[in-house]
């Protein structure tokens, strides 16, 4: 038995596919991003809410034909997934996806950022363990990005 | 979607709960052991999704009227106003609300509290704030419930709020409490916020009703999404 929040499961349903906007396919390369959310000792966590905010394929946050926000919840194995398009460079920023994590035991919501490659970026450059923010490439259409909240291999999180 | 880009005022750390909380064991398994990294803010952090209801459809503003009969419990009418750090309303803000029933049971498969479900209680709502930043909801007052595997910790009655301000950095999830509840004094979550004024802002205000014929108690609550007077974030 756990302490909540018992984030309603229906809140996270139907919001993890960013490739379709108002019935139309968004422009860009379709990719899947999936990962496991774990706590101390690598234990996977169920019903963790993961939200993302990203630019479109051309690096725009204000494209009316793209909706760069999505939400997923982990299953009993700690696994979440998104279908989206690969974001472009935003000004001087390398392509990236902003993540927010909400869960019981997290007194404040945690923010981090996923990158596709180890390149120079003003945010990535301030992180010591920057390799932990680089997604693992499974194939050209599939990336893996685990969120280790605490413990070995801990994901760097940002103060906002 | 047009771009929404703002500068944001930092939250005052005294108004925010500590990451690790004595008596709340999960915080020591989940809150990062490494310090949070301070990063520069850019377009991504200072913009946010507009008209989020395109992806997250709103529901009806009544948690007490799911079934044929009204839900069991004290009917309340909740008026929550969403404002930014300057006190300006956030019109069109999406607001998600959820809480347990009048027996202390959540409508959720992971809640194994031995308390009865109420088939007429809805459990959650998703609303869009009007021009004055206001959302209104009819529901019942949630009960207190015991937290398993603790030394007698009971959560005071509370309502969960998840809101979006204008930008990614003003995303906020928090809890609203009720005035005059003795359990507020010892709640590990509410008291993880050091600043007493910030804790006070988490507590709704009971509004005197104008007529005895009112069917519900009225509570008002203001939620500041960010800034020095920003609401404390809570799980």
Contacts (Cβ under 8 Å, ≥6 apart) of B18:
A107, B192, B194
For chain B, percent of residues with pLDDT exceeding 70: 96
Question: Roughly how many angstroms between the first and final C-alpha of chain A, as a whole number?
Answer: 32
Q: In chain B, which among 195-234 make CB contacts under 8 A with chain A? A: 233-234
Q: Which CATH superfamily is domain B13-224 in?
A: Aromatic compound dioxygenase (2.60.130.10)
pLDDT in tens, B165-190: 989 999 999 999 999 999 999 999 99
For residue B3, the model assigns a pLDDT of 47
Distance CA A131, CA B50 (A): 32
For residue B1, the model assigns a pLDDT of 40
For residue B68, the model assigns a pLDDT of 84
Low-confidence winner among B2-16, B80-94, B143-157 (lowest mean pLDDT): B2-16
Backbone dihedral region for residue B104 (phi beyond 0: left; psi -120 to 50: alpha; all else: beta): left
**Could you give the domains of chain A?**
9-148 (2.60.130.10)
Tokens at B192, concatenated? 């993880």
Contacts (Cβ under 8 Å, ≥6 apart) of A30:
A19, A83, A84, A85, A141
Tokens at A91, concatenated? 């000004």
For residue B85, the model assigns a pLDDT of 87
- Is B114 an interface residue toward A (CB < 8 Å)? no
pLDDT in tens, A28-60: 999 999 999 999 999 999 999 999 999 999 999
- Write down the catalytic residue from B99, B155, B166, B199: B155
For residue A4, the model assigns a pLDDT of 65
pLDDT in tens, B1-52: 444 445 677 788 889 999 999 999 999 999 999 999 999 998 999 999 989 9
pLDDT in tens, A44-103: 999 999 999 999 999 999 998 999 999 999 999 999 999 999 999 999 999 999 999 999
CB distance A9–B36 less than 8 Å? no
CB distance B42–A149 less than 8 Å? no
pTM exceeds 0.80: yes
Average pLDDT over residues A104-122: 96
For residue A1, the model assigns a pLDDT of 37
CB B226 within 8 A of CB B9: yes
Our answer to whether residue B106 is catalytic in this structure is yes
**Of A127-136, B67-76, B206-215, highest mean pLDDT:** A127-136
Give residue limits of the domains in chain B. Answer: 13-224
For residue B4, the model assigns a pLDDT of 47
From residue B73, give the alpha-carbon distance in Å to each of A8, B15, B116, B140. 21, 32, 13, 5
Sign of the dihedral defined by the CA atoms of residues B153, B178, A101, A70, in that order: positive
Determine whether A83 is exposed, middle or buried from the number of CB atoms within 10 Å of its CB (0-12, 13-18, 19+): middle
């Amino acid at each position: 038995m756990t302490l909540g929040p018992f984030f309603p499961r229906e809140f996270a349903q139907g919001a993890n596919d960013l490739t379709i906007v108002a019935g139309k396919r968004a422009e860009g390369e379709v990719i899947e991003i999936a990962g496991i959310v774990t706590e101390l000792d690598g234990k996977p966590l169920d019903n963790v809410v993961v939200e993302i905010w990203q630019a479109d394929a051309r690096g725009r946050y204000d494209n009316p034909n793209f909706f760069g926000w999505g939400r997923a919840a982990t299953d009993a194995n700690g696994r979440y997934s998104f279908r989206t398009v690969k974001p472009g460079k935003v000004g001087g920023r390398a392509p990236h996806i902003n993540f927010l994590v909400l869960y019981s035991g997290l007194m404040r919501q945690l923010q981090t950022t996923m990158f596709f490659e180890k390149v120079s970026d003003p945010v990535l450059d301030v992180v010591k363990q920057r390799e932990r923010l680089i997604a693992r490439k499974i194939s050209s259409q599939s990336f893996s990005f685990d969120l280790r909240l605490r413990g070995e291999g801990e994901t760097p999180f940002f103060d906002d | 979607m047009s771009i929404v880009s703002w500068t944001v005022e930092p939250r005052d750390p005294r108004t925010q709960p500590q990451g690790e909380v004595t008596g709340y064991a999960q915080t020591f398994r989940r809150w990062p052991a490494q310090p949070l990294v301070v990063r520069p803010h850019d377009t991504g952090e200072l913009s946010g999704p507009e008209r989020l209801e395109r992806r997250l459809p709103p529901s009806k503003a009544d948690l007490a009227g799911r079934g044929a009969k009204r839900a069991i419990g004290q009917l309340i009418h909740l008026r929550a106003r969403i404002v930014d750090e300057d006190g300006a309303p956030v019109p069109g803000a999406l607001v998600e609300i959820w809480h347990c029933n009048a027996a202390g049971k959540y409508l959720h498969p992971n809640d194994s509290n031995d308390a009865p479900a109420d088939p007429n209680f809805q459990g959650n709502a998703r609303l869009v704030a009007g021009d004055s930043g206001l959302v209104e909801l009819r529901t019942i007052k949630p009960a207190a419930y015991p937290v398993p595997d603790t030394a007698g910790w009971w959560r005071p009655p509370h309502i969960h709020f998840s809101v979006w301000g204008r930008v990614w950095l003003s995303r906020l999830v928090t809890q609203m409490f009720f005035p005059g509840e003795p359990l507020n004094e010892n709640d590990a979550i509410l008291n993880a916020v050091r600043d007493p004024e910030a804790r006070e802002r988490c507590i709704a205000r009971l509004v005197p009703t104008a007529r005895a014929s009112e069917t519900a108690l009225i509570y008002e609550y203001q939620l500041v999404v960010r800034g020095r007077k920003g609401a404390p974030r809570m799980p």
